[in-house]
Amino acid sequence: MDSNKKINCRSDSSSEDLPAEKKKKIINCLKCKAKPHNVNIRKNYPLCKECFLSFMQHKFRTNIGQAKKVKKGVNVLIALSGGNCSRALLDIFYKYHKGAENPKSGKIQRFKDIAVAYIDDSIITGESHVQKIKEIVTPYDIPLLIRPIEDIFSISLDDNNDNYKIITVKNKDGKKELEISQNTNIDNKTAMKELYESIPLLADKECLINNIRLVLLNYMAKISKYPVLCLGDSSTKVAIDVISNTCKGRGSSLPEDIASETELLKDVVIIKPGKTLLKEEFIQYNEYFDLDYIPEKQYNSSEIAKSIDLISAGFISDLQENFPSTVTTVVSTANKITVEEENYSSYHCSLCLCPIRKDSEKWLASNSITEVKDRTDYNYDHTEVYKNIPKYYQYLCFNCHILIDSINLQENQTVYLPYYVAEKINKYISASSS
Ligand SMILES: [Zn+2]
Ligand SMILES: [Zn+2]
């Protein structure tokens, strides 16, 4: 064993004595061609620090410039989760905004005011990051709007909060029932916790939280008079969403979900100016400017196995490792998907506000069975399933059907869906009857 070690040591030290030309060649920055490169995140694009930072700003500016629905001189609300990407994007946005404000820079001021929005989900995670978020935002001296996620239970999207109709999800004789009833006695915290806890699988819990977080952010932008909502999605996140949303039954709203520019709520345009930048590039940006962020939660393998988002993230990152163009290929391919208007319902999902494919509730039923009677016979009778399509499913998208289906209640136990869901459904019902 000892002699082996000696051989290893000798071979190691001898490599240091290699002639200079055999040592690894120093690659210069591809952009300025003068300085040696510092980063090579895209593998075929080595850049020095200065060129890397200007590359990021350039990508950001191009994305902002391409937003067609965004008018000049409007206010922008920047959604901050505190994670690497949204953290870096806040800094890039702020510098862009200040630069644009400086008349000497010769640029036209594109936005009026910018502010930050944060959704506090500590009621679900049991961990509050509010203090850290305040520390991150304070140096910028811009407004910080914070809302707890349970506020989703007290918002009205159509300024029609006078009737307090709410959807109750019940388990009646082993059957799921949705009912609209009058209820003004909802405690937001309890309702949020009970709804979250009634969903057993992590993958479905993710759906719920992702959907309502986005609705709440849109609502915050709307009532605070910020017609533009900026999300911190990187291209890595978009590529992950393409895979995970498809697995979750959100394929039909994919064009809307991953669009660079979209409108879920009237008068609020959602933009994703980080959509052409990789997550690793945002991480590098934070490192260069020594910016503090909220570290990603670490999961063990059994937790990962229960989450569609985490499995998709692992799938993309494993591929990206060996094939550095994976993310850009997935995103650019998905960007080509378009919506065939005639296949979609005239209204949007009452829960997640995304487009609904026509008859998706019947599609769900035609692909579902109540029990397996004969393993060799695939000609199932779906009549029973058709009869059992819960009421109001036609006002929800396929992804939200799966979500509501996953709610697991004891006999006579009830949970509530936020007020705005009943508000939307009532609006659609009265529009179709008039
Ligand atoms: Zn350079
Ligand atoms: Zn939906």
Q: What is the CATH number of the domain that holds 328?
A: 3.40.50.620
pLDDT in tens, 104-124: 665 666 899 999 999 999 999
Which residue has 């990508």 as its token pair? Answer: 59
* Dist. CA 79 → ligand 1 center (Å): 31
Mark whether 57 and 112 lie in a shared domain.
no
Q: Give dist(CA 296, CA 131) in Å, integer.
A: 17
Q: Which amino acid is at 355?
A: P
State the distance from the centre of ligand 1 to the C-alpha of 84, rounded, in angstroms: 24
Please, what sign has the CA dihedral across residues 361, 366, 368, 370? Answer: positive
Ligand number, closest to the Cα atom of 38: 1
Q: With helix as H, strand as E and coil as C, how does the chain read? A: CHHHHHHHHHHHHHHHCCCHHHCCCCCECCCCCCCECCECCCCCCCECHHHHHHHHHHHHHHHHHHCCCCCCCEEEEEECCCCHHHHHHHHHHHHHHHHHHCHHHCCCCCEEEEEEEEEECHHHHCCCCHHHHHHHHHHHCCCEEEEEHHHHHHCCCCCCCCCCEEEEEEEECCEEEEEEEECCCCCHHHHHHHHHHCCCCHHHHHHHHHHHHHHHHHHHHHHCCCCEEECCCCHHHHHHHHHHHHHCCCHHHHHHHHCCEEEEECCEEEECCCCCCCHHHHHHHHHHHCCCCCCCCCCCHHHHCCCHHHHHHHHHHHHHHHCCCHHHHHHHHHHCCCCCHHHEEEEECCCCCCEEECCHHHHHHHCCCCCCCCCCCCCCCCHHHHHCCCCCHHHCCHHHHHHHHHCCCCCCCEEEECHHHHHHHHHHHHHHHC
* Distance in angstroms (rounded) separating the CA atoms of residues 428 and 394: 10
Ligand 1 centroid–CA 89 distance in Å is 22
Distance 19 CA to ligand 1 centre (A): 28
Report how far residue 243's alpha carbon sits from residue 311's, in angstroms, rounded to the nearest whole number. Answer: 9
Residue of 406, 308, 405, 329 whose CA lies nearest to 361: 405
Q: How far apart are CA 46 and CA 43, in angstroms?
A: 7
Same domain, 183 and 156: yes
- Domain end, chosen from 7, 38, 66, is at 66
Are 240 and 309 in contact by the 8 Å Cβ rule? The answer is: yes
Give the residue with greater pLDDT, 140 vs 260. Answer: 140
Considering the domain architecture, whether residues 57 and 201 belong to the same structural domain is answered as no
Of 27-36, 146-155, 376-385, the least confident: 376-385
Contact 169, 407 (CB under 8 A): yes
How many Å apart are CA 231 and CA 152, to the nearest integer? 19
**104/127 same-domain check:** yes
Domain residues for the domain of 46 are 24-66
Output the CA 27–ligand 1 centroid distance in Å.
Answer: 11
Q: 76 with 28, same domain?
A: no
Distance CA 32, CA 43 (A): 17
- Of the candidates 287, 257, 229, which has an alpha carbon nearest to the alpha carbon of residue 79? 229
Same domain for 160 and 29? Answer: no
Ligand nearest to the CA of 29: 1
- Asked, for residue 3, whether it belongs to a domain, the answer is no
Residues 53 and 186 in one domain: no
Ligand 1 mean position, distance from CA 56 (Å): 13
Could you report the per-residue pLDDT of 245-304, keeping only the tens digit for each? Answer: 888 888 888 888 888 899 999 999 999 999 999 999 999 999 999 999 999 888 888 888
- Check whether 416 has a pLDDT greater than 50: yes
Both 34 and 181 in one domain: the answer is no
17 occurs within a structural domain: no
In a shared domain, residues 86 and 53: no
Name residue 192's amino acid. M
Residue 260 lies in a domain: yes
Q: Is residue 198 part of a domain?
A: yes
Ligand that lies nearest to the alpha carbon of residue 49, given by its number in the listed order = 1
What is the rounded distance in angstroms from the CA atom of residue 376 to the CA atom of residue 369? 15
Q: How far is the CA of 51 from the centre of ligand 1 (A)?
A: 4
Assess whether 129 and 116 both reside in one domain: yes
- At 160-185, the pLDDT tens digits run 655 678 899 988 877 788 999 888 78
Q: pLDDT tens digit string along 170-224?
A: 888 777 889 998 887 889 999 999 999 999 988 889 889 999 999 999 999 999 9
Beta bridge partners of 168: 179, 416
142 and 214 inside one domain: yes
Of 354, 150, 372, 350, give the one whose Cα is nearest residue 248: 354
What CA–CA distance (Å, rounded) separates 267 from 220? 12
Distance of CA 281 from the midpoint of ligand 1 (Å): 16
Name the pLDDT band for 144 (thresholds 50, 70, 90): very high
Task: Answer whether 196's CB lies under 8 Å from 237's CB.
Answer: no
Q: Which ligand neighbours the alpha carbon of 352 most closely?
A: 2
pLDDT of amino acid 153 = 93
| Ligand that lies nearest to the alpha carbon of residue 349, given by its number in the listed order | 2
Specify the number of domains making up the chain.
Answer: 2
Distance 218 CA to ligand 2 centre (A): 15
* 168 CA distance to ligand 2 middle (Å): 17
Please tell me the number of the ligand nearest to residue 345's CA. 2
Domain closes at, from 49, 66, 83: 66
- 369 touches 380 (CB < 8 A): yes
Report the separation in Å between the CA atom of 287 and the middle of ligand 1, taken as the mean of its atom positions. Answer: 18
Average predicted confidence (pLDDT) for the chain:
86
Tell me the CA–centroid distance for residue 300 and ligand 2, in Å.
29
pLDDT of residue 20: 52
Residues with CB under 5 A from ligand 2 (ion): 349, 351-352, 397, 400
Q: How far is the CA of 56 from the centre of ligand 2 (A)?
A: 34
Residue labelled with tokens 């082993």: 174
Same domain, 141 and 289: yes
Question: Is the residue at 360 inside a domain?
Answer: yes
The residue behind tokens 């806040």 is 90
Q: pLDDT class for 232, splitting at 50, 70, 90?
A: very high
Q: Please tell me the distance between residue 140's alpha carbon and the centre of ligand 1 in angstroms.
A: 28
Whether residue 10 lies inside any domain: the answer is no
Residue 92 tokens, joined: 């890039």
Match 């911190």 to its residue by tokens: 232
Ligand nearest to the backbone CA of 55: 1
The overall longest dimension of the chain from CA atoms, in Å, is: 91
Nearest ligand atom owner, CA of 248: 2
206 assigned to some structural domain:
yes
pLDDT of 1 above 60: no
Ligand nearest to the CA of 252: 2
Q: How far is CA 74 from CA 24, 114, 368, in A?
A: 51, 9, 47
- 200 in a domain, yes or no? yes
Residue 5 pLDDT > 60: no
Q: Which ligand has the minimum distance to the alpha carbon of residue 31?
A: 1
With contact defined as beta carbons under 8 Å apart, do 423 and 157 qualify?
yes
> Quick one: which ligand is closest to 400's CA?
2
Q: Ligand 2 center to residue 402 CA distance, Å?
A: 9
